[in-house]
Amino acid sequence: MRANFTFHDVGQGLFYSGKIGSFNFVYDCGSNSKGNYLKNAINNYLEKQQNKIDWLILSHLDEDHTNGLEMLFSTNKNKETTVFLPYFTPIERLIISITKTTKQASWWYQFISDPVYYLLIVKNVKNVVIIGDQNLNNKLKEDYTCNSHNLNDFPDNNPLIDLIKKNENWEKYIKKNKVLIKNHKCIVYIKEWQFKFFNHDNHDKLSDFWNSINPIVNNNIIDAIKSKGIREKIRTVCYTKIYKSSTYINQTSLMLYHAPIDYQGYIKISCTKFGEELSQIGSKNGQLLSGDISLSTYWTKILTHFKKEFLNVSFVQIPHHGSIANWSSNILKDISAPHWINSASNKRKQYPHKEIIDILHKSQFNLHCCNELNSINIEFNYPLFLRALKLERVCFIKKIRKQDCDLCYCSIKK
């Protein structure tokens, strides 16, 4: 079995891809960094994978995680792509569109206004799977095994289905099984690999905000999202309420745990720009992708959901680019993953936050930083001649201000 995973060098954002045999998936694809970092990373990825993407998983809808979609889908070879994402109500999507400080292309506002229409009709993907955690009508075991090639085997999320039917014009897609609305209590198997999602549904009613903007949008949120003039007017009138409401929206993400079903071989980690490598053998081999989720807010639910999987986690993506606001001091008590990966700009000195760096260093865990200069590659089933390698190289790639110098921290453990 050969598998390869990459945190691409896109700067302030996240673009992660995985290849398991012939199966290709992407988790998030966006960046706010100026320059061609995202464009170059996507072009290189598509060339290597021959434009084939089986799964696209969007942790949430912020532009630094999604503004590469148009380019990712530019080859029009999307008919076999399944897209997974959490649900955001129209008013939540309006808030996302208004709070963006960087200019986005018109297609991105079309995507935010109606993600399902954009993905199914404009980009012609196979289907869209909306993952949530509410299921009041069915009592499910924590682990519900289903066949990933038949997504209808996922347990339905009936409360979320009702909410979506009330808010959206997606019923025709739901009837044709082009849109599936499912619960996250499911382990999915692809080849020799397993996948498990987590999402916390937290749809604030936002009644005060809605009362303030309804005279402006005239009950048409979709058009308001696509109109620069209306967005600017709402931002001016409701600035305080918008940014108060955006806090919990930005901290909601679709998490993904994935791991080989049975693997205790070599794992190679490469900091490609600087040539540092780490090779290990052991039983831990799972990866946890977190998007921008707030560990401080949802840690108890996350721990309950992934309790068994946490015993197998070796790699964790630090949420929200290393923001201390999304960090939880309890996490290292419950998960002892040796490798922590951060994706952010090397020009943003607070990402990852110094406190997180210090905590990981004190706990003797490895921090790997992905930025404009450096990508992180994780490879399973590396050639057996690496049995002779006895060193673990820990590479810290981060622009840290110390005597006004840029430092690259590397240490070797024997």
| pLDDT single digits (tens) 151-175 | 777 788 888 999 999 999 999 999 9
Q: Over 80: is that where the pLDDT of 351 sits?
A: no
Q: Tell me how many domains the chain contains.
A: 1
| CA trace torsion 179, 183, 185, 190 (10° rounding) | 0
Phi–psi pair at 181, nearest 5 degrees: -120, 110
What CATH number corresponds to the domain at position 67? 3.60.15.10
Q: What is the per-residue pLDDT for 78?
A: 87
> What's the CA gap between 100 and 66, in Å, rounded?
13
Quote the CA–CA distance of 29 and 405 in Å, as a whole number.
31
Query: Between 263 and 312, whose confidence is greater?
Result: 312
The most confident of the ranges 2-16, 310-324, 348-362 is 2-16
Q: Around 95, how many Cα atoms within 13 Å sit in the side-chain half-sphere?
A: 25
User: What pLDDT score was predicted for residue 206?
Assistant: 75
Q: What confidence tens digit (pLDDT) does each residue in 278-328 have?
A: 666 667 889 999 988 888 888 888 998 998 999 999 999 998 876 777 787
Span 114-140, average pLDDT = 84
Helices then strands, each counted (H, E), the chain? 15, 20
Please, which residues have CB within 8 angstroms of residue 101's CB and are 6 or more apart in sequence?
none
> How many Cβ atoms sit within 10 Å of the Cβ of residue 298?
21
Contact assessment for residue 81 and residue 56, using Cβ atoms and an 8 Å cutoff:
yes
Give residue 152's pLDDT.
76
pLDDT at 237: 80
**Cβ proximity of 324 and 354 under 8 Å:** no
The owner of tokens 């794992």 is 267
Q: How would you classify residue 56: left for phi > 0, otherwise alpha for psi between -120 and 50, otherwise beta?
A: beta
pTM reported for the whole predicted model: 0.88
Residue type at 49 in one-letter notation: Q
Report the range out of 62-66, 188-192, 281-285 with the highest average pLDDT.
Answer: 62-66
For residues 213 and 238, is the Cβ–Cβ distance under 8 A? yes
Mean pLDDT estimate for the chain? 81
Residues 288 and 328 sit within 8 Å (Cβ to Cβ): no
Measured CA to CA, the distance from residue 26 to residue 342 in angstroms comes to: 17
How far is it, in rounded angstroms, from Cα 139 to Cα 356? 38
Q: What is the DSSP letter of 349?
A: T
Task: Please report which confidence band the pLDDT of residue 395 belongs to, taking 50, 70 and 90 as the band edges.
Answer: very low
Q: 364 pLDDT band (50/70/90 cuts)?
A: confident
Closest of 302, 216, 210 to residue 255, by C-alpha = 302
Expressed as residue numbers, the domain containing 274 is: 3-413
pLDDT score of 271: 76
Per the CB < 8 A criterion, the answer to whether 316 and 345 are in contact is no
| Residues in the chain, total | 414
